[in-house]
């Protein structure tokens, strides 16, 4: 008697019959009927019509029947919300049952019923269950909070369930802790900034204790949660590593990989000369190797992760090459991954072994695998110079096999080898030419044509070979056509006498008979080059090519860092940052590896540490999320007609220089008036002399008068400049990292930027543009990045700013939205400038005027602030403030208090008056009080912040 009987149907109709049975008086019959219903449900049949009849069976003492009804309810409650209410009473009653199993079952099932009306009734029972005396009930209730949050997040927050859940992290039972962590992690995923898992040394300690005692699944949750913690120093980091290491011996591979993630991340903080660092490296290898003897699916995920680990820390697995050797009966997806890792681990020491293996693979049955193996041989040649010769001879051996796809792959990779080691292996060209006819794949044909063109002078019948390709020109793919065009032009430049006819033929084929714009344009360019200046043509076409880089498919360092923090996740399988693909992860926090705190490694920027762990520093720059509006604004700016008639006013000229953000204005500027402004020239990267990088000179008339007026002050030294902060992290900007600050130097506002290229390719063509902002800040010149920025290079740039740009009030007032363009893309970010930048040098008010103005400004415009813990006497404060153009007009001493009266003038002419009270009598009382009065009270807050910053630095 098996369950398959539940699937038999009768003539009357299944539903009808089931209904009768469900309403039967006999318990046993009822149960059988519910079983039949469930059986139909599991295979996807719709049995929702039986809802009322099934729910009627719910009130029973028979636990099995109860469970079965619950199973049904969970599946169908959503489609019958009104009827589902009928079940509520039973749930609420069950939550009070003396048997913990029943209590847990009720709260668990209720959470699965995704009906709004029911969730309201759920709150009270859930609250009780979260505090239940039985840990089994508590752990079930913890998960229920996550379920409820999924249905109605607001309700969960309002009811305070999140706090209760946080308390459960300190529960005495490790299983409860693990479930609380799991629930919080899931909730946190939809609230990236909620700081739900507030990790501190105490909670970490609790988690580490629970880690040893909870189930394997709980260990995974806890380890993944630990990985988000940012240890304070290397010592803490080491102690966490020590406590996590035993997890590497767990039988569950997910536990092992999560432990690897924690170790890989925290290791980053350990000084490399530490003994423990070496020990840890050694400990990581065996578990990774063991993962490879598991089931193929597990192997696959492990291999994708090992691929990352090998790139980050090749030393861990460098002696383990052999475990990546491909076995005959590995599934194809495992084979391909293993091959990839073999190449990454290939070095001079093991290259002989690797090559022998690869050659073996090249004779296997699976075509995809064979192709990849042949490519791998080429990659080895490029990676390990000493092996190049052996690789080439291996490839020649393979070409001798005459297996069509092997030959083609071999030719493609030999082309790359030629590019890496020019003038070394050209002797093999003859062999390659023998196989010309067998090439039928575009990539191989294109590679062969490239070889013939590049070495035309060494191939006697190069013209015949190329001509033979030309016959079917129109049937070729674009790749081959383009290559053929270039190759024939090369040939012509090398042997002009015999090949004139050929080149004309190809040019006319490309330009007249083709409708492919790429091909046509390339054809025209060659044609024009050849017809105007053959010598120049030769220089262009036969120019020396840059060598190709060692490894082409490495993951960019910033992405790699992020992926290392995501070991074991889907992101690590896809090698993409989670933000790129996970649905429903709203604004995922980017994770970064922590900085090493020990000495000796000063290359990493000090800012990294504060951002690590994503625990939210206040100064974190806000990246402008939706580009739509902003882009519109920036585009508008660009389209503003440049004043090109007559000698333009100097200020507008300067603005235009910085205006070519989207390149749109270039043509009109180019074609237009050359006398516009010399600054424009710099905009095209041509005349750097106009804008020296350290801009101490006045930029033009517009700023000149400001400068003059600053005369009375006497060059103040040490005006406050905030430290640089990262405005645009590299991962948001395809590898470009921008950090910066603002300074006012000799009356000129400067934006000081540090650009770092963390990508793999060179960056050029930098330009900058601001959105409209509160004080009309605009670049007074172009961004001076004169030489291309090569990978890992950092450059410091000062950008002078003017205050005559378009004005729009921002929130907060000192917010500035910036767009930076380079050859890769346009990036947007926003930053806040200290308002002190805008304090002009002629901000000293006459005493009388001050008094009159102070009275004149209504009292409601006055704001009071306190600056805590400032150990300055009034003179020191006055001097400090003066350096930032906050001028003291008068000083009074009343009852042990120094009162300083100060005035500030903003660049847009707004005056701000302030009164600063300093306690002189009482050395313990170190708070300063400041009152700010201004006709535009919005600026008061900014002014205060800036005074505070100035005084405290």
Q: In the range 365-384, which residues lie near another protein by CB under 8 A?
A: 365
Beta bridge partners of 354: none
Among 15, 21, 24, 35, the residue binding another protein under the rule CB under 8 A is: 35
- Per CB under 8 A, the segment of 35-43, 476-484, 610-618, 883-891 that binds another protein is 35-43
300 binds another protein (CB under 8 A): yes
For 552, counting Cβ atoms within 10 Å of its Cβ (0-12 exposed, 13-18 middle, 19+ buried), the class is exposed
Nearer to another protein, 4 or 512 (CB): 4
Q: Which of 14, 106, 111, 750 binds another protein (CB under 8 A)?
A: 111
d(CA 185, CA 611): 20
How many C-alpha atoms does 32 have within 13 Å on its Cβ side? 15
CA pair distance 29, 35, nearest whole angstrom = 10
Does the footprint of another protein cover residue 2 (CB under 8 A)?
yes
363 vs 549 by CB, closer to another protein: 363
Cβ proximity to another protein: between 439 and 489 the closer is 439
Pure H helices in 455-496:
462-470, 478-494
Q: What is the contact mask toward another protein in residues 466 to 495, using x (rule: CB under 8 A)? A: ------------------------------
Residue 852: Cβ within 10 Å count: 12
Q: Is 45:38 a contact under the CB 8 Å cutoff?
A: no
Task: Kindly state the smallest distance separating residue 96's Cβ from another protein, in Å.
Answer: 16
Nearest-approach distance from CB 353 to another protein, in angstroms = 8
192 binds another protein (CB under 8 A): no
Q: If binding is defined by CB under 8 A, does position 281 make contact with another protein?
A: no
Angle, CA 656 vertex, CA 654 and CA 659 arms, to 5°: 120
Q: At its nearest, how many Å lie between another protein and the CB of residue 290? A: 5
Cβ atoms of residues 920 and 900 within 8 Å: no
Contacts of another protein in 302-341 (CB under 8 A) = 302, 322-323, 325, 327-329, 331-333
Q: Give, as ranges, the residues between 403 and 432 that touch another protein (CB under 8 A).
A: 403
**Exposed/middle/buried for 413, CB within 10 Å: 0-12, 13-18, 19+?**
buried
Q: How far is it, in rounded angstroms, from Cα 177 to Cα 170? A: 7
Residue 568, interface with another protein (CB under 8 A)? yes
Q: Is 401 in the site for another protein (CB under 8 A)?
A: yes
Residues 782-821, interacting with another protein (CB under 8 A): none
Structure tokens at 594: 């922590």
If 0-12 CB within 10 Å is exposed, 13-18 middle and 19+ buried, where does residue 273 land? exposed
Ramachandran sector of residue 98 (left: φ over 0; alpha: ψ -120 to 50; beta: rest): alpha
Contacting range for another protein; rule: CB under 8 A; set: 122-130, 581-589, 699-707, 716-724: 581-589
Shortest distance in whole angstroms from residue 37 CB to another protein: 10
Complete DSSP assignment for 82-106: HHHGGGHHHHHHHTT-SSHHHHHHH
Residue 152 — φ and ψ, nearest 5°?
-145, 90
Q: Which is nearer to another protein, 360 or 846 (CB)?
A: 360
Binder of another protein out of 213, 498, 550, 796 (CB under 8 A): 213
Task: Tell me the closest approach of the beta carbon of residue 411 to another protein, in angstroms.
Answer: 18
638 near another protein, judged by CB under 8 A: no
Would you count residue 585 as binding another protein (CB under 8 A)?
Answer: yes
DSSP 12: T
**Dist. CA 461–CA 945, nearest whole Å:** 78
Structure tokens at 379: 């990659």
Tokens 């350290």 correspond to 694
Among 24, 60, 152, 173, binds another protein (CB under 8 A): 173
Our CB check for another protein shows the closer of 146 and 759 to be 146
**Ranges within 257-276 binding another protein (CB under 8 A):** 257-258
First to last CA, the chain: 84
Element holding 452 (H helix, E strand): helix 442-454
- Which listed range, 200-208, 356-364, 554-562, 827-835, lies at the site for another protein (CB under 8 A)? 356-364
Residue closer to another protein by CB (options 44, 714) is: 44
Q: Which of residues 231-260 bind another protein (CB under 8 A)?
A: 246, 249-254, 256-258
Query: Whose Cβ is closer to another protein: residue 172's or residue 599's?
Result: 172
Chain positions 54 to 93 lying near another protein, rule: CB under 8 A, are 62-65, 67-68, 71, 75, 78
- Site mask, another protein, residues 39-58, x = CB under 8 A? x--xxx--------------
**Distance separating alpha carbons of residues 263 and 276, to the nearest angstrom:** 12
Which neighbouring-strand residues pair with 802? Answer: 778
Site for another protein in 665-694 (CB under 8 A): none
What lies within 8 Å, CB to CB, of 709 at 6+ separation is 747, 840, 841, 842
**Whole-angstrom distance, CA of residue 854 vs CA of residue 363:** 91
> Under rule CB under 8 A, how many of the chain's residues touch another protein?
106
Rounded Cα gap, residues 294 and 314, in angstroms: 22
User: 47 φ, ψ to 5°?
Assistant: -120, 30
Shortest distance, position 367 Cβ to another protein, whole Å: 10
Residues in contact with another protein, shown as a per-residue x/- string from 115 to 154 under the rule CB under 8 A: -------------------xxx--xx--xx-xx--x----
Provide the CA 810 distance to its chain's centre, in angstroms: 27
Nearer to another protein, 284 or 946 (CB): 284
Shortest distance (Å) from residue 257 CB to another protein: 5
CB of 593 to another protein, least distance (A): 19
């Amino acid at each position: 008697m098996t369950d398959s009987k539940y699937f038999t149907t009768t003539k009357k109709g299944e539903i009808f019959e089931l209904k009768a049975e469900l309403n039967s008086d006999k318990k046993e019959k009822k149960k059988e009927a519910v079983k039949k219903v469930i059986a139909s449900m599991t295979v996807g049949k719709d049995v929702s019509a039986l809802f009322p009849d099934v729910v009627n069976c719910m009130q029973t003492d028979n636990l099995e029947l109860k469970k079965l009804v619950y199973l049904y309810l969970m599946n169908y409650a959503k489609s019958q919300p009104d009827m589902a209410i009928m079940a509520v009473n039973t749930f609420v009653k069950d939550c009070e049952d003396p048997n913990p199993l029943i209590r847990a079952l009720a709260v668990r099932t209720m959470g699965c019923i995704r009906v709004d009306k029911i969730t309201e009734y759920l709150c009270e029972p859930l609250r009780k269950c979260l505090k239940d005396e039985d840990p089994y009930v508590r752990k079930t209730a913890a998960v229920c909070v996550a379920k409820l949050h999924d249905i109605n997040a607001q309700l969960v927050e309002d009811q305070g369930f999140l706090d209760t859940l946080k308390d459960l992290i300190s529960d005495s039972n490790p299983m409860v802790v693990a479930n609380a962590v799991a629930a919080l992690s899931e909730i946190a995923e939809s609230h990236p900034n909620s700081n739900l898992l507030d990790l501190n040394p105490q909670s970490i300690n609790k988690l580490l204790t629970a880690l040893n005692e909870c189930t394997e699944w709980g260990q995974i949750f806890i380890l993944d949660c630990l990985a988000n913690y940012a240890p304070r120093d290397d010592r803490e980091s080491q102690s966490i590593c020590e406590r996590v290491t035993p997890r590497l011996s767990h039988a569950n591979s997910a536990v092992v990989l999560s432990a690897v993630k924690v170790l890989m991340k925290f290791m980053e903080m350990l000084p490399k000369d530490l003994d423990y660092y070496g020990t840890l490296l050694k400990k990581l290898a065996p578990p990774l190797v063991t993962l490879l003897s598991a089931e193929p699916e597990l192997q696959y995920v492990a291999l994708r992760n090992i691929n990352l680990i090998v790139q980050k820390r090749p030393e861990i697995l460098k002696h383990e090459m052999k475990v990546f050797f491909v076995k005959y009966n590995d599934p194809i997806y495992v084979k391909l991954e293993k091959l990839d890792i073999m190449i990454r681990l290939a070095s001079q020491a093991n290259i002989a072994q690797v090559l022998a293996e690869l050659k073996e693979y090249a004779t296997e049955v699976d075509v995809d695998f064979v192709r990849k193996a042949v490519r791998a041989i080429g990659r080895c040649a490029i990676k390990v110079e000493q092996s190049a010769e052996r690789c080439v001879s291996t490839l020649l051996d393979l070409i001798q096999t005459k297996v069509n796809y092997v030959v083609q792959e071999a030719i493609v990779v030999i082309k790359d080898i030629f590019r890496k080691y020019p003038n070394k292996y050209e002797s093999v060209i003859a062999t390659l030419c023998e196989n010309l006819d067998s090439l039928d794949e575009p990539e191989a044909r294109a590679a062969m044509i490239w070889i013939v063109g590049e070495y035309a002078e060494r191939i006697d019948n190069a013209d015949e070979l190329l001509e033979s390709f030309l016959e079917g020109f129109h049937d070729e793919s674009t790749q081959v056509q383009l290559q053929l065009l270039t190759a024939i032009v090369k040939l012509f430049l090398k042997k002009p006498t015999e090949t004139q006819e050929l080149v004309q033929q190809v040019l006319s084929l490309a330009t007249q008979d083709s409708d492919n714009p790429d091909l046509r344009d390339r054809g025209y360019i060659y044609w024009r080059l050849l017809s105007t200046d053959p010598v120049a043509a030769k220089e262009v076409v036969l120019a020396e090519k840059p060598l190709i880089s060692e490894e082409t498919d490495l993951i960019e360092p910033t992405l790699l860092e992020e992926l290392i923090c995501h070991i074991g996740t889907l992101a690590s399988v896809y090698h993409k940052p989670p933000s790129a693909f996970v649905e429903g992860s709203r604004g995922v926090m980017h994770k970064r590896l922590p900085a090493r705190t020990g000495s000796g490694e000063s290359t990493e920027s000090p800012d990294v540490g504060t951002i690590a762990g994503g625990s939210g520093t206040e100064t974190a720059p806000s990246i402008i999320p939706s580009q739509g509006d902003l882009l519109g604004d920036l585009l508008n700016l660009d389209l503003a007609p440049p004043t090109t008639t007559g000698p333009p006013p100097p200020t507008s000229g300067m603005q235009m220089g910085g205006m070519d953000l989207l390149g749109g204005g270039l043509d009109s500027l180019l074609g237009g008036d050359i006398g516009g402004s010399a600054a424009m020239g710099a905009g095209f990267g041509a005349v750097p002399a106009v804008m020296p990088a350290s801009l101490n000179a006045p930029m033009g008339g517009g700023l000149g008068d400001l400068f003059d007026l600053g005369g009375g002050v006497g060059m103040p030294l040490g005006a406050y400049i905030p430290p640089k902060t990262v405005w645009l992290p590299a991962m948001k900007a395809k590898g470009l990292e921008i950090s910066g600050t603002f300074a006012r130097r000799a009356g000129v506002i400067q934006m000081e930027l540090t650009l770092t290229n963390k990508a793999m390719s060179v960056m050029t063509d930098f330009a900058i543009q601001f959105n409209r902002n509160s004080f009309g800040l605009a670049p007074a010149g172009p961004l001076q990045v004169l030489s291309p920025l090569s990978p890992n290079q950092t450059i410091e740039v000062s950008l002078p700013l003017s205050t005559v740009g378009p004005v729009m009030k921002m929130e907060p007032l000192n917010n500035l939205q910036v767009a930076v363009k380079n050859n890769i893309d346009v990036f947007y970010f926003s930053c806040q400038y200290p308002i002190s930048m805008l304090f002009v040098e002629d901000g000293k008010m006459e005493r009388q005027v001050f008094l009159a103005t102070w009275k004149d400004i209504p009292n409601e415009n006055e704001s009071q602030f306190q600056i805590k813990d400032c150990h300055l006497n009034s003179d020191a404060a006055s001097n400090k403030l003066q350096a930032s153009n906050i001028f003291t007009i008068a000083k009074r001493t009343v009852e042990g208090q120094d009162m300083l009266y100060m005035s500030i003038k903003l660049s847009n002419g707004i005056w701000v008056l302030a009164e600063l009270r300093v306690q002189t009598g009482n050395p313990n009382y170190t708070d300063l009080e400041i009152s700010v009065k201004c006709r535009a009270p919005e600026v008061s807050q900014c002014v205060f912040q800036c005074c505070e910053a100035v005084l405290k630095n």
